[in-house]
Amino acid sequence: MNKNIIGIIVVVLVLVGIIWIARPNSQTNSAASLIQNSDGTLTAEEISFDFGSISMAAGEVRHSFPIKNTGAEPIAINKMYTSCMCTTATLISGSKKIGPYGMPGHAFVPKINEVINSGDEAIVEVVFDPAAHGPAGVGRIQRIVTIENNAGQPLNLEFSALVTP
């Protein structure tokens, strides 16, 4: 019996270690929508969106967040990922659709390396599946899409919803 308990503890510690290593290394962005450095400025007019009340039975919901480089220099979007496996995000830059990207640890999050030139815009299309968590997923939710870039701190786009059966 003691060997079983020790085995379970070892497995739990290994799993916790894997999750700790796989977590993104970004910091939460405050309510500011500007990300600055000497290379450029990445802005989003809307950094938060509320879907309101949505039904699990109705299926996925989508929202597009426009982002823009308002700086003088190009900005490289390095990575994009979501805070939950129920959410995916796609970067739409010109005629290119890059993604969808999900939650680190549930899928590999590759580097994007998409450049947004000064004055150019892109779209981050977010898709939320309210049925992803099953019956336990009802109630108020908040999710975040993180955009890592070379202009400084990551840009966080947030959305919320009240999920009903």
pLDDT for 54-90, tens place per residue? Answer: 999 999 999 999 999 988 899 999 999 999 999 999 9
pLDDT band, very low/low/confident/very high, at 39 (cuts 50, 70, 90): very low
12, part of any domain: no
Within 8 A by CB and 6+ apart from 130, the residues are: 54, 55, 56, 58, 59, 60, 61, 86, 137, 161, 163
Number of structural domains in the chain: 1
13, part of any domain: no
pTM > 0.85: yes or no: no
Tell me the average pLDDT of the chain. 84
Contact present, 151 and 40 (Cβ < 8 Å): yes
Whole-number percent of the chain with pLDDT over 90: 60
CATH of the domain at 83: 2.60.40.10
User: Does the pLDDT value for residue 34 go beyond 90?
Assistant: no
137, part of any domain: yes
- 19-43 burial: b if 16+ Cβ within 10 Å, else e: eeeeeeebeebeeebbbeeebbbbb
81, part of any domain: yes
Which residue range forms the structural domain that includes residue 73? 28-164
Helix (H, G, I), strand (E, B) or coil at 63: strand
16, part of any domain: no
91, part of any domain: yes
68, part of any domain: yes
Contacts of the segment 2-11: beta carbons below 8 A, 24+ positions apart: none
107, part of any domain: yes
